[in-house]
Chain A
Amino acid sequence: MFESKSGIFLIAGLGFFALSFVVMAVLPWMIYYKEPEQTVAMMAQKGMVPEFADLAERYPEQFKKHFGEVNYKTYAEALQLGHDVYVAEACWHCHSQFVRPVSNEDLRWGPVSHALEYQNTLQRPVLFGTRRVGPDLIREAARRPNDWHVAHFYNPLSVQPTSVMPAYSWFLDEQGYPNKKGMAIITYIQSLGSWLREYPYFEGDGPLGPAAHPEQPYGGKPVPKQVVNAPTEGSRQS
C-alpha cells in the first residue's frame, strides 16, 4: 500500500492530486460558475470609455486607418487587442490587477477588488499579477489622459524620471503617433476599473475630491492627515 508501486501511483499520484483539484479548483469554480462569464462584446456594450473616442479625435487619420469608426464593435476589438498586447509584453509581471483589503491599498487605489470584476474573458487566465514594480492598474481608468500614456510608452522617463519601465516605442509609428497596438493598449488600460459606478480614485481623493462625498470618502473611515496633504498622483503628472 504505502510502499507498493500501485499504491503510490494510485493514492499519491492520482488520488491526492484529485483531492487537491476538488478542494482548490472545483470548489471555487462551483462558487462562481453561476455568474456568467462576460465576453468582450458584452463588456463593450455595457459602456465605452470616453478615452476611446478621445483617441479618434486626437489622431483621426491613424484611428480611421486602424479601427475605422468609433462604435462598440471597434471598441471591443481594441479591448481584446489591448489585452493581448498586455499579455504578450508580460505587463502583468510588473503591474498587478487587484486591490487588496489591507496595507492601505484602498486609500491608494480605490475600492477593494471584487470577484465579479474578474468574471470576463479578458481575465482568462486571470491577471492578478505577481509583482508590483509599477503601480496596480485595476483602478487606472481615466486617472491619466491619453497624451500622458502616449508619451509614457514612447519614453517613460520623459514623464516619470524615476521610472524603471522599458520604452515601448513599437506602440508608436514613425511620426510618433500611436499605432494600432498603442491605441489598443491605451484603450485597454483606460478601461480598467471603468465598470465602477464612480471612478477614478486618485490617491487621497475620491472621484471628485473628498468634499463632493462627505458621507463616505473612504468607506466612512477618517481620512489620514498625510493622505490629504500628499500631492495626488493625478495632479502631479498632469
Chain B
Amino acid sequence: MTALNVSMSPPASSAVRPVDGLVDRKLALWHLVASLVFLGVALLAGFSFSLQFLQKYPFPGIELLSPGRWRLVHTNGVAYGFLANAFLGCLYWAVPRLTGQPVYSRALSWFIFWAWQAIVGVTAVGLILGHAQALEWGETPTYVDPVAFLGLILVAVNFLTPIFRAKGPMYVTLWYFIAAFVWTPLVYAMGNFLAQYLVGGAAGGAIGGLFIHDLVGLFVTPLGWGLMYYFVPIILKKPMWSHGLSLVGFWGLAFFYPLTGIHHFLYSPIPLFLQHGAVITTIAIEFVVTTVIINFFGTLAGRGDALRTSLPIRWFYTGMVFYFTTCLQCSFQTTLTFQRLIHFTDWVVGHAHLVMFGVFGFWLLGSILYLFPRLIGAKAYYSDALNSWHYWLSALGTLIMFTDLLVAGVVQGNLWRNLAPWEESLIASMPFWLIRSVSGTMIIVGNFMFFWNLYKTWQMTVASRQTQPAMPGTSPMPA
C-alpha cells in the first residue's frame, strides 16, 4: 500500500492506520526526547564552563571535569546532540507528510536513531577523555568521524527516497531539504578528513573556516528554514505570502553561503584576496535574508494575533527577528573595519549564541512544542503557564546574553588595542561574564520547566488512557 493512494482516498477499514504508516510517531518522539536530553546536558556544561570565568568553577583540578573539555561537550552537544536529533525528529514528521511517501525504511530509521545516539555518546566520552580534534565543531574524535559520515549518508538516503518518489512540483521546504542532505555529508567529510589528514597550515585554515561556516550555513540553516516554510503555513492555516520569492531566498543561500567560510580568519595568513571575496559574499547574504524575512512577515500580515494565541508561532517569529539581527550584525562584523576591534572577543561568542540558540534553538523548541502533543496523542499541555515561562525566560535570557557579550566584546577589543596590560581586559570582563552566567541560568531554568511540563503531560496522557481506554478524544490539539 503506497501512502500516496491513502491520502487520496480514506480506507474503509478502520484497522488500517494509514497516517501512522506514513509517520512513525514513536521514532519522531524518541528523537525529540533524545534532543532534549542532550540539550539539558549541553546547557549544564555551558553553565559550569561559564563559572570558570568567574573563578568559581565547582570542580577544580579534576582531569575529567576540566572546564576546557566540558566546553567541547557544550558546543558539540548542541550541534550533534540537540540540533541534529531535533531536526531528525521533525523531518520524520514533515517529509512523509509533505511527500505523501514514507521514509525509505523503518528499520533503517531505527538503526540510524540508535547509531546516532551512540555517535553522540561516544563523542562526548571521547572529548572528556581528551581525544578531541583541533577544529571548531569538528572536535569529534577521529575514530568517530568515519562512522558519523556514514550515518549522515544513511540519513540522506532515508529522506531523499520519499522526496524523489513524490510526483509533481515541489514545495520550497523540500528544495531546502534536498540541498541539506547533499551538503551535510560533503561538509562533514571536508572538515573532518581534509583538514585533519591532507591540508595543513594556512590553506588548512581556509578549509577549517569553510567547515565551520558550512556547518551552520549548509546543515543547520537549510533544515531550519525548510521547517519554518512547513510549520508556519500549517499553523497559520494560510499559504506563504509568495512561493516565487522563496525561490530567490533558496538560490541566494545556495550560491552565497558556501562562499563565506574564510571570513572567520580575517587578517590571518590566508591570502587577502580570498578574505575580500568572503566579505563580499557575506554581505550579499544579508540581501537574500531580507527577501526571506519579507516573505515570512508577509505571511503573518493579517494574522498578527497568532503571536499571542499560538506559542509555536511566537517562538518561530522571535527566532526570525533574531535571525535578521544576527545576519545584519554579520554583514557589519565581517568587514575588515569591524574585525580590527572585535575579532577574538566576546562579541563573536554573543553572535554564536544568538544564532545557535536564539534562532535555530527557538525554531526547534517551537516545533517540539507543536509536535509533542500530536506525537503522544495528548489533548493539551499539563500547564500552559510553564510553557509561557519557558518562552519568556529563554527569550529574555538570550537577549540579555547577546547584548551583554556584544558590549563585552567592544570593551575587550578597545583595551587590547590600547595596549592595556592583559589582566585589565580580564578585570573589565568579569562583570559581563557574571551577567552572562545569570542570563544562562535564566535559559536553563526556562528549559527545565519545559522538560518538567513535557514529563507531566506525558504522565497525564498515559493515566487518561488507562482510565478511559476507548476515549475518542485523543485527536491532536489545535495549535
Contact = CB atoms under 8 A, between A and B. Distances in A.
A–B contact via C-beta, under 8 angstroms: yes
Interface of A: 2-5, 8-9, 11-14, 16-17, 19-21, 23-25, 27-29, 31-33, 35, 37, 85, 87-94, 96, 98, 100-105, 107-108, 113-115, 117-121, 123-135, 157, 160, 162-164, 166-170, 203-204, 224, 226-227, 230-231, 233, 236
B186 A17 contact: yes
Given A17-B183, A20-B259, A27-B271, 8 more contacts: A9-B178, A12-B250, A13-B181, A20-B210, A28-B202, A89-B69, A98-B269, A100-B268
20 contacts: A3-B175, A8-B170, A12-B254, A20-B259, A21-B210, A24-B210, A24-B262, A37-B201, A85-B130, A88-B132, A102-B339, A105-B416, A118-B200, A118-B205, A126-B202, A129-B344, A130-B344, A131-B348, A166-B66, A168-B66
B203 A8 contact: no
Interface stretch (B22-30, B318-326, B421-429): B421-429
Contacts, number: 242
B259 A25 contact: no
A131 to B, nearest CB: 6
A119 B200 contact: yes
B142 to A, nearest CB: 11
A170 B129 CA distance: 13
A57 to B, nearest CB: 28
B247 interface: yes
B100 interface: no
A29 B206 CA distance: 9
Interface string B192-234: 0011110111111111111000100010000000000000000
B202 A21 contact: no
Given A28-B271, A32-B201, A87-B132, A103 B340 contact: yes
Contacts of B68: 89-91, 93-94, 166
Nearest to B67: A166
B455 interface: no
A19 B138 CA distance: 22
A103 B417 contact: yes
Interface stretch (B50-58, B80-88, B361-369, B396-404): B50-58
A121 B200 contact: yes
A98 B270 CA distance: 11
A133 B53 CA distance: 9
Contact of A227 (B183, B349, B419): B419
A159 B101 CA distance: 65
Interface string B405-435: 0000000010011110111001100000000
A114 to B, nearest CB: 6
Given A12-B254, A33-B203, A93-B68, A230 B422 contact: no
Given A24-B261, A103-B340, A113-B268, A89 B130 contact: yes
